[in-house]
Amino acid sequence: MGVSYRWVIVAVGALMSCVAIGAMFSLAIFQEPIATATGWSHVGIASAMTLNFLVMGLGGFLWGAASDRFGPRIVVLVGSVLLGLALVLASRAATLIEFQLTYGILVGLAASAFFAPMIAATTAWFDVNRGLAVSLVSAGMGVAPMTISPFARWLISAYEWRPAMLIIGIATWVLLVPAALLVRRPPVESVDAGTEFAAAGARPQLSKVFRSPQFIVLGLTFFACCAAHSGPIFHMVNYATICGVAPMAAVSIYSVEGLAGLGGRLLYGSLADRLGVKPVLVAGLLVQAAALATYLLVSELTEFYALAIVFGSAYGGVMPLYAVLAREYFGQRIIGTVLGAATMLSSLGMAFGPLIGGWIFDTFANYSWLFIGSAMVGLGAAAIALAFPPLVRREQEAVLGVSS
């Protein structure tokens, strides 16, 4: 395997993140057809998504730790089989509780098997252009709403919801199982001797890692970042509708945010490789906070589109940078575990936003305090990110390079 194989790893990671996240979030497309066909409540069906977030948090940590111990290929292979099985079982669910258990728990568990292991595999293959590579892998999440969701809508129109979900489950096996077999370890393993948490090739102590200032700042920043944008993202369509935007046009704001997120990942990843991860992350968090506050001033569709470009590129662009920081601080040997733990905290942030946004709207009959509060939390995330300790890895490598 030559060095060029590293781009195969990137392509596989992007495909996996696209299919896994797309399959999970397609519940938004299935919700109304399922409710109409079964008589199940919308709240009951939507609760499967809440379970997805909660299970993804814990699952991401467990799968990440497993990838460190057993390698990423076996983890993503198991995740691929489980994701297809979960969708097939959910398509056959006879009761709401069966659907919640299969779609809410099994799909969430399976979907969490790809991010941390594939990011870990990617960082192992790249010493140069690492930020760009990680951003490309995570870009699959941005592509998902523009691929899996329309495909699900077409299948539902043609075959009803149960056959549609069954077909997506089978397609998941067809796409992801062969892709998982392409995952390889790099021909030369990365050396972590320059990192603070890897001395003389020893495996870092996780208790020391999770108590370190580096992980605490990483986890809190990731949590606050997701808590800041999750509520506005979830309630954006309703907010735009209240402002007078037509319902179908309001939905299209999501597409603009998704497209902007793709560009943001490439832009911020490339800038991180050139300028350093920390300053680019802080700048992106400040842009996100400013965009959240600016939503208080928009009311026209064109204004929503313009702001969606800024907001989408900011929150989409900063997300892969947490993985790059985790690799820089903690090295390759435990990145799956560290990233999985940080992702678990981010999932809690994602879960809080929609609930708090709903409470604010029910209490005040508008979303003003949601955007004010989200902007403040976003500023808090930027402030926390400023506390990242200096990276010592590159300084030590420079010294080693001079001495050699």
Would you give the distance in Å from CA 50 to the centre of its chain?
15
The answer on 196 and 128 residing in a single domain is no
Q: What are the residues whose beta carbons fall under 8 Å from the beta carbon of 160, sequence distance 6 or more?
A: 33, 37
Q: How far apart are CA 324 and CA 340, in angstroms?
A: 13
> How far, in Å, are 275, 350, 395 from residue 399 at the CA level?
20, 41, 6
The answer on 339 and 207 residing in a single domain is yes
Would you place residue 284 in the very low, low, confident or very high pLDDT band (cuts 50, 70, 90)? very high
Among the candidates 161, 183, 205, a domain finishes at 183
**Sign of the alpha-carbon dihedral angle for 82, 13, 17, 68:** positive
User: For residue 126, what are the domain limits?
Assistant: 7-183
Overall domain count for the chain: 2
Percent of the chain whose predicted confidence (pLDDT) is above 90: 36
Mean pLDDT to the nearest integer, 341-352: 83
Which of 123-132, 269-278, 372-381 is most confident?
A: 372-381
The answer on 245 and 363 residing in a single domain is yes
Among the candidates 183, 209, 226, a domain finishes at 183
Radius of gyration for the chain, computed over Cα atoms and rounded to the nearest angstrom: 21
Which of 76-80, 268-272, 345-349 is most confident?
A: 76-80
Q: How far apart are CA 305 and CA 282, in angstroms?
A: 24
Least confident residue range of 101-110, 237-246, 353-362, 385-394: 385-394
Q: Which two tokens stand for residue 281?
A: 């992350």
- Could you tell me if residue 2 is inside a domain? no
- Could you tell me if residue 404 is inside a domain? no
pLDDT higher than 90, residue 177: yes
pLDDT higher than 50, residue 372: yes
- Could you tell me if residue 401 is inside a domain? no
pLDDT at 211: 87
pLDDT at 202: 56
- CA 54-363-383 angle, to 5 degrees, is 55
pLDDT at 392: 58
What CATH number does the domain containing 19 carry? 1.20.1250.20
Mean pLDDT to the nearest integer, 17-26: 87
- Could you tell me if residue 154 is inside a domain? yes
> Which residue would you say has higher pLDDT here, 192 or 362?
362
Q: Which two tokens stand for residue 94?
A: 């006879």
The answer on 213 and 141 residing in a single domain is no
pLDDT higher than 50, residue 200: no
pLDDT higher than 80, residue 54: yes
The answer on 197 and 179 residing in a single domain is no
The pTM of the full predicted model, rounded to 2 decimals, is 0.75
pLDDT at 400: 37
The answer on 384 and 238 residing in a single domain is yes
What do you get for the CA distance between the two ends of the chain, in Å? 28
Nearest CA to 274 out of 131, 68, 80 is that of 131
Among the candidates 137, 163, 183, a domain finishes at 183
> Which residue would you say has higher pLDDT here, 120 or 106?
106
Averaged pLDDT of the chain = 84
- Could you tell me if residue 403 is inside a domain? no
- What's the DSSP call for residue 192? -
- Could you tell me if residue 146 is inside a domain? yes
The answer on 283 and 359 residing in a single domain is yes
Q: How far apart are CA 324 and CA 309, in angstroms?
A: 24
pLDDT higher than 60, residue 230: yes
Q: Are 327 and 304 contacting, i.e. CB atoms less than 8 angstroms apart? A: no
Would you place residue 165 in the very low, low, confident or very high pLDDT band (cuts 50, 70, 90)? very high
The answer on 248 and 159 residing in a single domain is no
The answer on 274 and 174 residing in a single domain is no
Q: What are the start-end ranges of the E strands in 246-383?
A: none
The answer on 277 and 161 residing in a single domain is no
- Could you tell me if residue 1 is inside a domain? no
pLDDT at 191: 53
Mean pLDDT to the nearest integer, 202-230: 86
The answer on 129 and 13 residing in a single domain is yes
Nearest CA to 310 out of 280, 290, 337 is that of 290
Q: How far apart are CA 338 and CA 320, in angstroms?
A: 14
The answer on 357 and 276 residing in a single domain is yes
146 backbone dihedrals φ, ψ, rounded to 5° = -95, -5
Q: Which two tokens stand for residue 136?
A: 């490309």
Q: Are 176 and 87 contacting, i.e. CB atoms less than 8 angstroms apart? A: no
pLDDT at 203: 61
- Could you tell me if residue 135 is inside a domain? yes
